[in-house]
Structure 1
Amino acid sequence: MRNLKQIMLFVMVGSLLTFNSCSSSDDGGDGGSAPGGTLVAKVNGTAYQSLEISSRATVANNGNNLIIIATNSDGNAFMMSVFGYEGAGKTYEFDGASLGVFNTASYSETDVNLSNPTASTTEIWQAPFADAVAGSVSISEETDTNIKGTFSFECKNVNGDGSVKTISEGSFNLKKTTE
């Protein structure tokens, strides 16, 4: 239930914030070191690994959009949206400098209150959050069933305490669905 709420929250936030993309050619990186079916990263230097069961990449809108959602058992999650997706071998920036051109990324932490689930809280750190490049995601490999890549970004808790988190050494090796 908690993962479903997080996924829906990320999809809604991503849909509201993004409609176009910014991409730049590149070799797509080396693919990183994420185990099959997962996303790994460091959040302010602390290791994060998603669960295979709650991690997925979706290529939608006739292949023009890429949405990555990955959660772990602690209630922490990543979401990245690339609009204007062109496949492997590209790097897509999370750039707030261009009006109307947004690829987005976010990291969230959910504190589940088991005695009163409606009192659970979720904090979301978003990128981009200023008129600058906050990071990027590089797609190194894509098959009919899998997608691999690397990412890093800085994100800000814009609706909370204003804190900034640094996401580094990110990579994913996810099952892919096409819609």
Structure 2
Amino acid sequence: MKTFKKIGLTALMALALVFNSCSSDSDGGGSSSLSTYISAKVDGTSFETASIQGQSVGVAMKQGTGDMQLITISCGDQTTITDQDYKAIYIALVGPITAGTTYQVNSTTNNTLGYTETAGDNDVTWDTGDCENATGSITVTSISDTKIEGTFTFTGSKEDACSSQKTVTNGKFRGTFQSF
């Protein structure tokens, strides 16, 4: 599962740079006009999904149904495609996923929240998948065949150093699912 999470994050970020949403949907009451976005505070510092020429540096995907449903949202703050330094937040929910539900996230659940900082070739991730002291919650406020919205908060730990933590608060997200 840990390898899946790391591969999934890398794939989602790559897809975010290639397949950006074209909508400027703003009917969800969120804080962004982007169709896919994540906003939060990371250790008190604002994180806002970037856009390139009005297109979100984020991607949302929904696969499967019922217990086999997987929804992922990954957004970066990278301001240009040539930047090698960026920050990203990702959300992974394993179904069934319903509106009005709060999902607990910790090292024993399949749901995951994470924050990554990349500088050149150095990636550092704090997530909820590996350490007992890494916990959080995701509240889904609405979900449809095309979009999911909600809020989240978490304290993530580094896989190899559980005492190294990042606290992410005031999280909001909207994911407009990519269709291929």
Q: Same fold (TM over 0.5)?
A: yes
1:89 deviates by 1.7
Of structures 1 and 2, the one scoring higher in RCO (CA 8 A, sep 6+) is 1
Structure 2 length as normaliser, TM-score? 0.69
User: What corresponds to 1:34 in structure 2?
Assistant: 31
Task: Tell me, in whole angstroms, the C-alpha distance in 2 between the residues paired with 1:54 and 1:134.
Answer: 26
SS in 1 for 2:8: helix
Query: Root-mean-square deviation (CA), in Å?
Result: 2.8
Structure 1 pair 178–138 and aligned structure 2 pair: CA distance change class (3 A): farther
* Structure 2 alignment gaps of length 5 or more: 12-27, 79-84
Q: How does 1:1-179 map to 2 (within 5 A)?
A: 9=6, 11=8, 33-36=30-33, 37=35, 38-52=37-51, 53-62=56-65, 64-73=69-78, 74-96=85-107, 98=108, 101-112=109-120, 120-131=121-132, 134-159=135-160, 162-177=163-178
Task: Tell me, in whole angstroms, the C-alpha distance in 2 between the residues paired with 1:107 and 1:42.
Answer: 11
1:90 deviates by 1.4
Task: Tell me, in whole angstroms, the C-alpha distance in 2 between the residues paired with 1:12 and 1:42.
Answer: 20
The amino acid that maps onto 1:105 is L
CA contact (8 A) 1:32 1:170 kept: no
Task: Tell me, in whole angstroms, the C-alpha distance in 2 between the residues paired with 1:126 and 1:48.
Answer: 16
CA contact (8 A) 1:93 1:133 kept: no
- Offset from partner CA, 1:16-45 (integer Å, 9 cap, x none): xxxxxxxxxxxxxxx774313311000000
The amino acid that maps onto 1:35 is S
SS in 2 for 1:177: coil
1:72 deviates by 1.3
Task: Tell me, in whole angstroms, the C-alpha distance in 1 between the residues paired with 2:10 and 2:135.
Answer: 17
Task: Tell me, in whole angstroms, the C-alpha distance in 1 between the residues paired with 2:41 and 2:32.
Answer: 15
* Structure 1 alignment gaps of length 5 or more: 1-7, 15-30, 113-119
1:85 deviates by 3.1
Report runs of 4+ in structure 1 exceeding 4 Å deviation: none
The amino acid that maps onto 1:77 is A
1:168 deviates by 0.1
Task: Report sequence identity in percent.
Answer: 25
Number of aligned residue pairs: give it. 146
SS in 2 for 1:172: strand
Task: Tell me, in whole angstroms, the C-alpha distance in 2 between the residues paired with 1:91 and 1:55.
Answer: 23
